[in-house]
Amino acid sequence: MRALLAELVRTNSVNPSLCPGAPGESAIAAIVEREFSDPRFEVHRLEATPGRPSIVVKLPGTGGGRSLMFNAHMDTVGVDEMPSPFSGLTEGNRLYGRGAYDMKGSLAAAITALQALPRLPGDVYLAAVADEEFASLGTEEVLRHFHPDAAIVTEPTGLDLCLAHKGFAWFEITVPGQAAHGSRFDLGIDANLGALPHLEYLAHLAQDLLQRPPHPLLGPPSLHLATIHGGTAWSTYAASCTLRIERRLLPGETAAQALAELGPAARLVFARPPYEASPHSPLVQLAQQVLPAARITGQAPWFDAALYAAADIETLILGPAGDGAHSAIEWVDLASVEAAADAYVQIARNFCQT
């Protein structure tokens, strides 16, 4: 498994939606297909968006059992400021490189687990997906074709059980003005100054959100002003000013509710729902038996788990340990990758029964 992980990290799969000209997931998809050339596996290539493949591997069951899908994304963010992003260097128990932690360690663990499993009563799947780091095209496509009884999204959790994460919504507010020469106060209308009431309201709302009752695993909801764009030149009145806002949503909150709080000037651009799983679900309880030292946690980032949950699929987030997601130094703990693979095998053996 360590050799496979090093190969995955050495293979550039930067998401081209984030970094134009980047290669995307095709080379990693070819490695996944190679790893499952054994005829006992079914390999499905999904590529509704050309050049952005996702691979679904199925270990067919003998019949009568529940089905379980492991999900891991193949794409990574960019490699700016990383001196050796694709080295796959191992030092002690750490393997370094872009995607080692987020989340090729998880992908290697899931591949190894599926290869180790015998045929069970229920089907076992691995979805190696494209584009999680941008718009989740891969998992959306997978869920149009497959509907397992349960899923483990193998994002890194330090071998803890992640049962919640926030959703997010992106909004824009555009304030109109009137372009004119800077000397013509009689003609110009300054859109940037016109945005001040919105800025004051956003500042108040951001503070109010932090005072609201927190989620026990995630804390309070939040809002931040991501960008302000207005004006074109020193001596020109700004014809428009656009504010871009991100709102992080707790379970139970919706993008529509957040939009209503922002008022009629705001426009919803894009949103993803939050995720929350019950600690009493069969999958979670089984994972607790397999990993008795695991804590119940929530995580701040958004994961594809929310898409599985929205499709009414019992979902858990469970993966290895490490650090440095989206940062200049990224590494995964190799012992935890091996432990994750063992846990996936044990969970599948027990879950996929009659």
pLDDT attached to residue 277 = 97
Task: Give the pLDDT band (50/70/90) at residue 255.
Answer: very high
pLDDT attached to residue 38 = 95
pLDDT attached to residue 252 = 96
pLDDT greater than 80 at residue 10: yes
What average pLDDT score do residues 259-269 get? 97
pLDDT greater than 80 at residue 162: yes
pLDDT greater than 90 at residue 27: yes
Number of independent structural domains in the chain: 2
277-332 pLDDT, tens per residue? 999 999 999 999 999 999 999 998 999 999 999 999 999 999 999 999 999 999 99
Q: Which of 338, 167, 174, 340 is nearest to 257 (CA)?
A: 167
313-325 pLDDT, tens per residue? 999 999 999 999 9
Shared domain check, 264 and 207: yes
196-216 pLDDT, tens per residue? 999 999 999 999 999 999 999
What average pLDDT score do residues 184-197 get? 98
125-139 pLDDT, tens per residue? 999 999 999 999 999
pLDDT greater than 80 at residue 224: yes
Shared domain check, 266 and 182: yes
With contact defined as beta carbons under 8 Å apart, do 189 and 351 qualify?
no
In this structure, what CATH number is given to the domain that contains residue 255? 3.30.70.360
Give me 89's structure tokens. Answer: 């260097």
What average pLDDT score do residues 162-184 get? 98
- Cis (ω within 30 of 0) for the bond into 103? yes
Shared domain check, 325 and 225: no
* pLDDT cut 70: percent of the chain above it: 100
pLDDT attached to residue 55 = 98
pLDDT greater than 80 at residue 110: yes
Residue whose pair of structure tokens reads 């992003």 in the numeric block: 85
In this structure, what CATH number is given to the domain that contains residue 311? 3.40.630.10
pLDDT greater than 90 at residue 352: yes
Shared domain check, 280 and 265: no
Shared domain check, 36 and 73: yes
What average pLDDT score do residues 341-353 get? 97
Shared domain check, 290 and 218: no
**Listed residues 272, 297, 312: the one ending a domain:** 272
Shared domain check, 228 and 256: yes
pTM, to two decimals: 0.93
| Residues in Cβ contact with 224 at an 8 Å cutoff, skipping those fewer than 6 apart | 206, 245, 246
Shared domain check, 146 and 7: yes
65-92 pLDDT, tens per residue? 999 999 999 999 999 989 999 999 999 9
State the average pLDDT for the chain.
Answer: 97
pLDDT attached to residue 200 = 98
Task: Give the pLDDT band (50/70/90) at residue 354.
Answer: confident
pLDDT greater than 90 at residue 276: yes
pLDDT greater than 90 at residue 172: yes
Single-letter code of the amino acid located at 85: P
pLDDT attached to residue 81 = 86
**Listed residues 241, 272, 303: the one ending a domain:** 272
Shared domain check, 92 and 51: yes
pLDDT attached to residue 246 = 98
pLDDT attached to residue 149 = 98
| Residues in Cβ contact with 327 at an 8 Å cutoff, skipping those fewer than 6 apart | none
Q: Which residue range forms the structural domain that includes residue 326?
A: 2-165+274-351
With contact defined as beta carbons under 8 Å apart, do 70 and 163 qualify?
no
**Listed residues 226, 254, 272: the one ending a domain:** 272
pLDDT attached to residue 107 = 98
Shared domain check, 6 and 129: yes
Give me 260's structure tokens. Answer: 């209503």
pLDDT attached to residue 144 = 98
Shared domain check, 306 and 290: yes
Shared domain check, 93 and 241: no
